Structure formats: structure tokens, C-alpha cells
Amino acid sequence: MPKASIVTRDLTDLTKETHNIYESIVIVGKRSRQISSRLKDELNAKLSEFATTVDNLEEVQENREQIEISRFYERMPKATSLAIEELLEDKIFFTKVEDNF
């Protein structure tokens, strides 16, 4: 059974650049979607090598390499966790657009 990976975060660490928890959450969310999209594209590219044009289930064989690739991506940290780590390590570049009304 997988071990739970719950990490308690200090809000002051998340807001050290923005000074606003809501802005930090938006930044993490946007970065998380970028990471998720990139990982999905990588996975689809790797799995496309195994794609068949056969619709018959009897002719489709189990491929161990394909299963291992899928398991590797399943075991990776979630995109949100990666984005939070990037924010805490100052690896995310963001700009704030000011409202000029």
C-alpha cells in the first residue's frame, strides 16, 4: 500500500514573493497546468510508439515496456507538488499586471 505523502506548508513560505496567498495559489495553479500538459505530451509521445491500428482485442498483446512507462508516470509527483516546490525554490518567473482604471 502506498505511503501517504501529505506535507504541511507554511503560508509565509508560499507568500514570500507575492505577499498574497491568493496570488501564490493562482501562480502555482497556472504552473501546475503547464507541468501537467508537458508531462501528458511526453507520455503520449512515448506511448504512441506502441499504438496499433488493429481494432481486434484478441490481436492486441500486453507490452511490458508500455506498462513500465505508464507506471513510471503514475509514480511521479503530482504537478501541483512540483509547482509548489518550484515556487518555494524561486524557480518560477511571473509578472503581475497592474490594473489601470
Question: Which stretches of the chain are DSSP H helices?
Answer: 11-14, 21-48, 64-75, 79-88
Tell me what pLDDT residue 28 has. 97
Tell me what pLDDT residue 62 has. 63
Tell me what pLDDT residue 1 has. 54
Q: Which amino acid is at 44?
A: N
**95 within a domain of the structure (yes/no):** no
Tell me what pLDDT residue 59 has. 46
How many folded domains does the chain comprise? 1
Residues with pLDDT less than 70, the chain: 1-5, 52-62, 99-101
> Residue 59 is placed in which grid cell?
490481436
**78 within a domain of the structure (yes/no):** yes
Tell me what pLDDT residue 54 has. 61
**82 within a domain of the structure (yes/no):** yes
DSSP 4: P
Tell me what pLDDT residue 64 has. 81
What is the sign of the dihedral through the CA atoms of 39, 43, 45 and 46? positive
**93 within a domain of the structure (yes/no):** no
DSSP 60: -
How far is Cα 51 from Cα 74, in angstroms, rounded to an integer? Answer: 19
**6 within a domain of the structure (yes/no):** no
**84 within a domain of the structure (yes/no):** yes
**101 within a domain of the structure (yes/no):** no
User: Which residue range(s) make up the domain with 41?
Assistant: 11-51+60-88
Tell me what pLDDT residue 74 has. 93
